[in-house]
Amino acid sequence: MARRRGGAAARVRIAGIPLRLRASWLIVAAAIVLLFGPQVARIFPELGAGAYAVALAYAGLLLVSVLAHELAHALSARAFGWPSTEIELNLWGGHTEFLAADSTPTKSLAVSLAGPAANLVIAGIGWWLIETFTPVGVLGMLASVTVLMNFLVGVFNLLPGLPLDGGRLVESTVWAVTGSQRRGALAAGWAGRVVVAGLVVAAVWLLIGDGGTNLVVVVVAAMVSFFLWQGASDTVAAARAGLRRERREGRGR
């Protein structure tokens, strides 16, 4: 996902890779606590104010899920000899920076799909543990939330359009066929715009199906759609600029 600058950050290292946690992530944590705290309190009224601590654990689980996703990107890039310079976790999720030398469609796709794959593996292991040990109460709820979060993060990022990881499938396919990474990026950027349109249609359909307006759905759908559209549009603009530059240089020879 696209990187956002600004805001204070806490920085540590994991597997030798700098990890930056932006203060903007606290907005996500606060939103999760406010949204899910009352739900936990209804399910477990005996917890009292502790229900909000459980909701905070939801936020922590989401943070760990996104971190696992980004670490998979970083470690798979390292396997190809591409050093990772930083992992950042922020309001929009996360982003991994690495220096890709001698990139190919296959390598680019492998690094991109490593993130969703890590989340789906965690979801699968979590589901197996739940089926095997059948945890109950708050522990059972947190286990189920872990599985659901990782499944959703993995599947959502596989949608075939940049800036999502699945967009690399479109990019790599067009790149392999045309021999131009920029043409692949252009196609993947347009695919990202199609994905956004699909998400908006799905959100509207869900709202109509619910028979009313769900403020949470509207706000989340609007934020995600705006972010993805911006990322896809930036990709399209950069690819077009690169292709125009290639054409000028070709005519200049």
pLDDT digits (tens, 9 = 90+) for 24-58: 899 989 989 998 999 999 999 999 999 999 999 99
Q: Name the one residue in this structure whose structure tokens are 């949204």.
A: 35
Sequence-ordered list of residues with C-beta below 8 angstroms from that of 172, at least 6 positions apart, any chain: 105, 106, 108, 109, 184
At residue 59, the pLDDT reads 95
Sequence-ordered list of residues with C-beta below 8 angstroms from that of 180, at least 6 positions apart, any chain: 174, 243
Q: Is the peptide bond before 163 cis (omega within 30 degrees of 0)?
A: yes
At residue 48, the pLDDT reads 95
Judge whether residue 7 has pLDDT over 60: no
- Mean pLDDT over all residues of the chain? 90
pLDDT digits (tens, 9 = 90+) for 98-157: 888 889 999 999 999 999 999 999 999 999 999 999 999 999 999 999 999 999 999 999
Across 5-9, 93-97, 133-137, 196-200, least confident range: 5-9
Euclidean distance between CA atoms 127 and 89, whole angstroms: 26
Domain ranges for the chain, please list them: 1-158, 160-246
